[in-house]
Amino acid sequence: MAGRFLQIFKPLQRFLPEVSSPERRVRIGEKLLWTVLALVLYLIMTEVPLYGIQTGGEDPYLYLRVIFASNRGSLMELGIQPIVTAGLILQIVAGSGLISFDQSDPNDRKLFTTASKFFSLVLIGVQASAYLIGGVYGTLEFRVAIIIFIQLMVAGIVLMLLDEMIQKGWGMGSGISLFILAGVAQRILWSSVAPWPPMYTGQKYFYGALIAFIQAITNGEPLGEAITRPWMPSISMLGFITTIAVFLIVIYIEGVRVEIPVAYARYRGFRGTYPIKLLYVSNLPVIFASALFANVYLVSQLLWSRFYPNTPFWVNLLGQYQYSASGQPEPIGGLVYYVISPRSIPEVINDPVRALVFVGILVSFCVIFSLIWLQMGGQNPQTVARQLVDSGMQIPGFRRSHKPIENILKRYIPGVTVLGGIIVGLISAVADFFGVFGTGMGVLLSVGILYQYYQLLMREQVEETYPGIGRLLG
């Protein structure tokens, strides 16, 4: 039974927008079609500008947007950040035991989804208001501000429903993952080969790193400068090379696993393995850590803008800013300064303390969120042992019972969970230091998402070709 907290949301189930679950089996071709349509609609919204604002200049949230699939000045200004933040809040509250939630109970899952949807709507409104009050779009008339607020609310609701449509079985995988992958792919492609003309006075090279590298070599620039691109170190050939290296490293790590032998009790001789991946809880800790850091950035900038120039001490602890030449506030101190990664080797050299503190904070939160998701995601040893026994599996040499299987899983799962959190945090942070395209978090997430889609496609094909095996897989 759901706890009192979740019961509060029961009356809201009939009012909140919802996508109905399919009443029949959706074939793989139809799933792919709905998935592509959702992706196309998302990409269209990233290109449709918000009515009533002017775009241009530097983007203070540029590197955070990659993770949250957002695009400045468009209908996807907020991206998936409110949805991810709502999930983050509920996961932390549920993981701390403040609310009771049974993952195996369909009613609890439905109420939890309703609560997540409600908080997503609230946070869409809160973050849209924060953008307007914080002056992200400059000084606006009240009527224009209301129009922009409505646009952001409607776009957020559409994105939330697209994600729900995919997750309920009409599409493949998760809408959140799909949109992140699309955003990272766009960023990597654009950073590599964008044919933009020089953006700053005195520059003679194009924006895309590959094009600029060819131009620099052709003009006789030293090889070291052509690779590091000191005039724009965050988008250089060094970043391109690092991006490929990080892809290869993460692909290798995705394949590292411990395989526990299992046997099917009903059919003697049917044996297999239960894999425990090194990245056991996947890349979700990175998403949650990104959501936390992004909200620290947003709240601190809002408070600083509100009190500037007479900012109180507690606001300075959260974040201190100064205006850049383009008029945008840049973090120079406080907590926010240490949760935003340096984006190039020169930045790391200039302030190594900031780099080390950022690594420590990111790795710590990745481990914390890994342990929380271990319980909330139904991946803890107790739940996995129960699932194996209920599906008719057992470990050879041990009696068919939850307890011995649970004891064996406890040898591996907690340690792998902590180690995986440390690894994803380190890879993400170090990749950012080398200016990897799409950010270290983005590349890390992209590889995991592509791997998940590969597994989903293989499973869908097996279930359609061999329905009997599909029923055995659950």
Tens-place pLDDT, residues 262-275:
777 665 556 777 78
Is the residue at 307 inside a domain?
Answer: yes
Q: Is 216 among the domain residues?
A: yes
Cα distance between residue 228 and residue 231, in whole Å = 9
Instruction: HSE, CB side, 13 Å, CA atoms: give it for residue 335.
Output: 18
Identify whether residues 139 and 208 lie together within a single domain. Answer: no
The one-letter code for the residue type at 48 is: V
Residues 166 and 303 in one domain: no
**Residue showing tokens 């029923």:** 471
pLDDT at position 2 is: 47
Mean pLDDT of 136-161: 88
Portion of the chain with pLDDT greater than 90, in percent: 13
List the CATH number of the domain containing 290: 1.10.3370.10
Distance of alpha carbon 81 from alpha carbon 64, whole angstroms = 10
Q: Are residues 23 and 85 in the same domain?
A: yes
- What is the phi-psi region of residue 262: left when phi exceeds 0, alpha when psi lies from -120 to 50, beta otherwise? beta
Measure the CA–CA gap between 268 and 278, rounded to whole angstroms: 30
Select the more confidently predicted residue: 463 or 43.
43
Domain boundary among 143, 172, 201: 172
Per-residue pLDDT reduced to its tens digit, 96-142: 566 666 666 677 778 888 888 898 999 999 888 888 877 777 777 88
Q: Is 70 within the bounds of a domain?
A: yes
Residue 241 has pLDDT above 70, yes or no: yes
- Write out pLDDT tens, residues 398-448: 666 777 888 888 888 888 889 988 998 899 888 888 888 888 888 888 888
Q: Are 447 and 250 in contact (CB under 8 A)?
A: yes
Q: What distance in Å separates the CA atoms of residue 183 and residue 70, rounded to the nearest whole number? A: 8
Closest C-alpha to 417, from 368, 450, 359: 368
Rounded CA-CA distance 10/352 in Å is 50
Total domains present in the chain: 2
User: Which element (helix H / strand E) includes 332?
Assistant: strand 329-333
The region of weakest confidence among 230-234, 239-243, 255-259 is 230-234
Question: Minimum mean pLDDT among 151-155, 231-235, 464-468: which range?
Answer: 464-468
Dist CA 163 CA 148 (whole Å): 23
- Does some domain include residue 186? no
Q: Is residue 299 part of a domain?
A: yes
Domain check: are 208 and 263 in the same one? yes
Instruction: Tell me, yes or no, whether 184 lies in a domain.
Output: no
Question: Which of 73-77, 332-336, 359-363 reaches the highest mean pLDDT?
Answer: 359-363
Q: Which structural domain, as residue segments, surrounds residue 408? A: 191-474
Phi first, then psi, for residue 392 (nearest 5°) are 90, 15
pTM: 0.80
Element (H, E) at 219: none
Q: Which residues make Cβ contacts (< 8 Å) with residue 240, sequence separation at least 6?
A: 191, 192, 209, 210, 437
Mean pLDDT, range 456-462, rounded to an integer: 79
**Same domain membership, residue 69 and residue 160:** yes
What's the pLDDT band for 1 if we cut at 50, 70, 90?
Answer: very low
Model confidence at 150, pLDDT cuts 50, 70, 90, reads very high
In 278-328, the DSSP E strands lie at 320-323
288 shares its domain with 404: yes
Amino acid present at 49: P
Q: Are residues 348 and 268 in the same domain?
A: yes
In a domain, 182, yes or no: no
pLDDT of residue 162: 92
In the prediction, which pLDDT does 201 show? 46
Token pair of 171, please?
Answer: 């599409």
Domain end (from 115, 138, 172): 172
Q: What is the pLDDT of residues 74-89, one digit of tens each?
A: 899 888 888 888 877 7
Q: What is the pLDDT of residue 124?
A: 93
The closest alpha carbon to 428, from 16, 67, 31, 47, belongs to: 67
Give yes or no: residues 329 and 402 share one domain.
yes
pLDDT in tens, 176-230: 888 888 888 888 888 888 887 665 545 677 888 888 888 888 888 888 888 888 7
Please tell me which residue, 56 or 233, carries the higher pLDDT value: 233
CB 330 within 8 Å of CB 347: no
* Average pLDDT value for residue range 383-404: 75
Together in a domain, 207 and 155: no
Check whether residue 207 and residue 66 sit in a common domain: no
- C-alpha distances in angstroms, 315 versus 131, 312, 318? 18, 5, 5
Q: Name the pairing type of β-strands 329-333 and 257-264.
A: unpaired
Q: Does 181 fall in a domain? A: no
Mean pLDDT of the chain: 81
Query: Which residue, of 119, 141, 172, is where some domain finishes?
Result: 172
Same domain, 15 and 147: yes
Q: Are residues 379 and 232 in the same domain?
A: yes
Phi, psi of 396 (to 5 degrees): -55, 135
- H or E stretch at 273: strand 271-277
Helix, coil or strand: residue 373 = helix
Least confident range from 34-43, 153-162, 196-205, 253-262: namely 196-205
CA 304 to chain centre: 27
- Residue 465, both tokens: 């070709």
